[in-house]
Structure formats: structure tokens, C-alpha cells
Amino acid sequence: MTISPCLRRMLVLFLLAWLPLAASAQDDDGQQLLQSLDAASFTQMGEAIEAIITSGDERSRGWLEALLDGKLQRHKETGRFVVVLENRGRDWPVADALTGEAIGEMSRRDLDRLGINNALRGQLQSALAVLDLHVPETRDRREAARALLGDVDASLVEPLEAVIRVEEDAEVRRLLEQGLAIHRLEQGSLEAVASLQGSLNNRVRAALNSAARSDDPALAEAASVALADIEQQMKLNRGLETLYFGLSLGSVLVLAAIGLAITFGVMGVINMAHGELIMLGAYTTWAMQQLLPGQPGLAMVLSIPAGFLVAALAGIAIERGVIQFLKGRPLETLLATFGVSLILQQLVRTVISPLNRTVVTPEWMSGSIMINEGLSLTLNRLYVLGFALVVFAGLMLVMRRTRLGLEVRAVTQNRAMARSMGIRATRVDIMTFALGSGVAGLAGVALSQLTNVGPNLGQNYIIDSFMVVVFGGVGNLWGTLVAGLSLGVINQVLEPWAGAVLAKILVLVFIILFIQKRPRGLFPQKGRAAEG
């Protein structure tokens, strides 16, 4: 009885999936298979990978994964194949590729990596995805099915059809059918268009787009119609996406500016070192991650109070050391705090490093959540958006509902009167400045997830922060929120057609014009407080 290669491959895949630990030591075969991987050209290497996939060797999955990660290597002198366990530094711990035993460390000088390119990576990924179609977790199966979209070739059609017959999850079945339909579409099948109708997936659209350019007029026509329908739905998606981008940029602006809204808006101190307080918050996150290696999530959560504290203490030091002596002299305050900002920057540069620090993104903050196949929201920005709103709400609560808030408002409205009523104005100054600085620290914790953590981090945000506070109306927290979010949205709406550089300029021009018309911003303070 003859078995077709496709069927054989399918059987092998099943065997691989279901019998991962069947013990058989065919080291000669294994050595042979690996030897053929060490080929002169990537084409030969591709054939060697195919041979490994069809070999049925139970170790092949490990080999393919190691090859994909660039960790399958050959010892130069002995020709022994090893899997590198950790490839940082000069000497790497390795394991024998054939036996899987750890065999100590080898110098990277003595090892030759079996390098792959993007084409081979695609081949390996689809091979691994096919294997993954048999794992018990539904989520991983969906992931694997999605990865196969657009990568289905003739040899996979039969095995995938077999998988669809036994698959329980409807979503996996749908994705696999879509994958097959893309393949049929590439072969010129007109019916395939119907089954791809309405899908917002990028790869489906790519396939339809190439079909729309095909020589077969009927196919091209059908594909164009399907595309037009998809484009219609995408328009709504794009609108929502731009809104989300705008809100996300806005939330960053709000976070950066809200601390300044306290120190500048409420207290009237022009603090040019505000950006550096943000930077300190970001570095606290980095330091936390250094203290808790391997637990970026926990470090992230702990950085929130820590970042607040560090920045607040720095704020107190600045207030006691510099600002208190310059009360009522805004120009001197501006210059002195500018000096402080330079000192803080250089301090970080000398003590830590002039180079940017890596802040690891915790697992639960990376990637995106899919709303539908054409619209997904990036998680880190979603968290920052939520965090900004929480910080804002917290700050509102402090200002409106606590004794400190009451005292702050009293002192800013009429310092002399507040003092005569028994409020210790100096203490209130310190507390207010510490609060504003602490919030800047919180902004730093959030920004460490979005941008570079380096000595210049603060400089990039100081102008934007002042812009938001002035636009929103000095002394008004609601103004800061509305101004930040709306500037974010305006910027992102302008960006696609004006470009990033011009969009920024247009926003600045808009603010200049707006301030001409309404010098006190969006939400001017009313009443006696405004006169002062």
C-alpha cells in the first residue's frame, strides 16, 4: 500500500502531537537530520527542515523551536550539535541537541549558529503552528490557526481539512476555513471570495487585493465588490482607532501636565524641573525592576507608590532648597528651577548612565486586545489611559474632599487671610508641592511603558505640559483634563494628512490663536481668586 506524501506528513504530525515523549534513541538519524540543516544555502536548509518535519523524530519540535530562536548551534571543532540555553555574555550554558542533556558552558567563539532568514522563519512558524493545532488549550489553537492565515499551501490542505473535521471550537474552524479559502482564492477559485466576504483580517484583505488585480475578470470583479464592502466597515474602524489614538496621546499629556496643574496652576510656581520629576518616577520603575528581577508585573505595581514617594521627596527638597526663597519672583524661580532640572539630568547621567535604561513591559501589558479583526487596542496604552483617569479622580478627591485640599485652596486664594485663620501656610506649600511632584512621579511610572527611560525623558514633556495647563486654564484641574484629551485627539486627527511634524506645528498655532482670543484658557477661573 502506498501512502501519499501529504497523508504521511499528516500522520507524522499527529504522531508528533500525541506522542511527545516516546522513547527511542535513533542518534544516527538525528545526527544525520541536523547535519543536513548545516547547509550552504537557505534553499537547502529549507529542504532539511522539511525532512525534519516529516522524519517523525520526537525531538524535532525542540529542534525547530531552537532553530527558530537561533539557539541551535554547532561546536566548531567537534561538530557536535547543541541547544544554547542562555545566549548572553561570553560563555553560554548548552545542552546536547541529541540527548537533551545539559553539558555545561561553551565559549561563543567555539560555536557556530545555524542562521535562518525570514523565509525560513515563516516555514518554521507554520510548521510549529500546524503542530500547535493539536494542543489542548483553545486559546493556543486559535493563535495557531490565525498564524496559518495566508500561509496555507497545497501540502497543508488535506491535513487541515482533517483537523477541521475533528475540531470542536467554532472559532478555530472558522479561521482554518478562512485560511483554506485564501489558498483557494490564490488558486483562482471564485467561490472562495464568498467565504471571505466581510472579514476584516489584514491577510484576507491582502489576498482579495491581489485577486482584484488578477487576469480573470470575473474573479477580479467579485474580489473588488467584496473589498468595497470590507472598506466600508474599515472606515468606521479607522475612525474609532483615531479616536482611541487621540485619547491615548491625550492621557499621556494629562498625566504629564496634571502635576504641573497643581504646582503651577494652583500654587503659581513655574517649575521647569517638572519634567525631571517625571524622569525620576520613570527611573524608580527601572530601579524597582532591578530589585525584583523576573517579576516585572509586581515591580510595576510597587513602582506606583515608590515613584510617587521618590518624586514627592525630590519635590520637597526643591521646594525647601530653592523655591521657598524665591516666593513671588517668577523670573528667578524659572531660572533657578531650570538650573535644578539640568543638575538632575546630569546627576542621572553621571550616577546611573547616559544610556537609556530598559524597562521591561509586563506580560499583561504587552500586545493588544482585539475588538474585531480590523480593530485592536494596544494594551499598554489602554492601561495608561485608565491610570490617567484614576490619578485624575484621586487628585480631584484630594483637592475637593480632604483638609489638605481645603487648606491649599484657602492659601492660594488669600495667603494672609488663611494664615490668620491658623493655617500653616509654609506647611501647606510643602505639601502641595510634594503632591504635585508626586503626581509627576506617577506620570513617570506610566511613561516608562511608552517611551525611553533616559536622562532626557523630562525635557520632551515639559513644553507639552505647560501648553496643556495654559490651554486648559491655569488653576483648573478639569481644564487640564479636557485640554489634554482634546489636544491629543486634534493632534491624531491632523496627523494622517499633515504628517507628525506639521500636525504638531498646527496644534501650536491653534493654541496661540486660542490664547489670543481667550487669554485665560478653556476654563478661566472666576471670582476673586482670578484677580490675584
Partner 1 sequence: MIPSSVYRTSRWLAAPLLGAALATPALAQEDPIKVGILHSLSGTMAISETVLKDTVEMLIEQQNAEGGLLGRELEAVVVDPASDWPLFAEKARELLAQEEVDVIFGNWTSVSRKSVLPVVEELNGLLFYPVQYEGEESSENVFYTGAAPNQQAIPAVDYLMNNVGVERWVLAGTDYVYPRTTNKILEAYLKSFGVADEDIMVNYTPFGHSDWQNIVSEVKAFGSEGKKTAVVSTINGDANVPFYRELGNQGIDAADIPVVAFSVGEQELTGIDTAPLVGHLAAWNYFMSVDTDANYDFIDAWIDYTGDEMAVTNDPMEAHYIGFNMWIEAVRKAGTTEVDAVKDAIIGVSVPNLTGGYAAMMPNHHITKPVLIGEIQDNGQFSIVWETPSTVAGDAWSDYLPGSRDLISDWRKPMACGNYNVVTGSCGGGETQEETTAEE
Query: Which lies closer to partner 1 via its Cβ, residue 349 or residue 520?
Result: 349
In whole angstroms, the minimum distance from the beta carbon of 52 to partner 1 comes to 20
- Coil, strand or helix: which one is 113? strand
Query: Which lies closer to partner 1 via its Cβ, residue 20 or residue 496?
Result: 496
Query: Which lies closer to partner 1 via its Cβ, residue 197 or residue 376?
Result: 376
Residue 356 one-letter amino acid: N
In whole angstroms, the minimum distance from the beta carbon of 500 to partner 1 comes to 4
- Measured distance CA(426)–CA(320) in Å, rounded: 10
In whole angstroms, the minimum distance from the beta carbon of 37 to partner 1 comes to 15
Query: Which lies closer to partner 1 via its Cβ, residue 380 or residue 525?
Result: 380
Query: Which lies closer to partner 1 via its Cβ, residue 204 or residue 411?
Result: 204
- Coil, strand or helix: which one is 106? strand
In whole angstroms, the minimum distance from the beta carbon of 64 to partner 1 comes to 15
In whole angstroms, the minimum distance from the beta carbon of 295 to partner 1 comes to 15
Query: Which lies closer to partner 1 via its Cβ, residue 248 or residue 476?
Result: 248
Residues 6+ apart with CB under 8 A from 464: 253, 256, 257
Query: Which lies closer to partner 1 via its Cβ, residue 355 or residue 416?
Result: 355
Query: Which lies closer to partner 1 via its Cβ, residue 9 or residue 205?
Result: 205
In whole angstroms, the minimum distance from the beta carbon of 7 to partner 1 comes to 28
Which of 517, 522, 459, 516 is CA-nearest to residue 490?
522
Other beta carbons within 10 angstroms of residue 142's beta carbon come to 17
Give the chain's count of helices (H) and strands (E).
21, 7
Which residue pairs from 285-290 have beta carbons closer than 8 angstroms and sit at least 24 positions apart in sequence? 285/359, 285/444, 285/445, 285/448, 285/453, 286/357, 286/358, 286/359, 286/448, 286/453, 289/359, 289/360
Which of 79, 438, 423 is CA-nearest to residue 277?
438
Compute CA distances 272 → 347, 459, 464, 487, whole Å.
16, 9, 12, 21
Classify residue 320 as exposed, middle or buried by CB count within 10 Å of its CB (0-12, 13-18, 19+).
middle
In whole angstroms, the minimum distance from the beta carbon of 60 to partner 1 comes to 21
User: How far from the centroid of its chain's Cα atoms is residue 218's Cα?
Assistant: 43
For 366-414, what is the HEC assignment?
CCEEEEECCEEEEHHHHHHHHHHHHHHHHHHHHHHHCHHHHHHHHHHHC
In whole angstroms, the minimum distance from the beta carbon of 235 to partner 1 comes to 11
Q: Grid coordinates in use for 352?
A: 546611573
In whole angstroms, the minimum distance from the beta carbon of 438 to partner 1 comes to 18
Query: Which lies closer to partner 1 via its Cβ, residue 98 or residue 230?
Result: 230
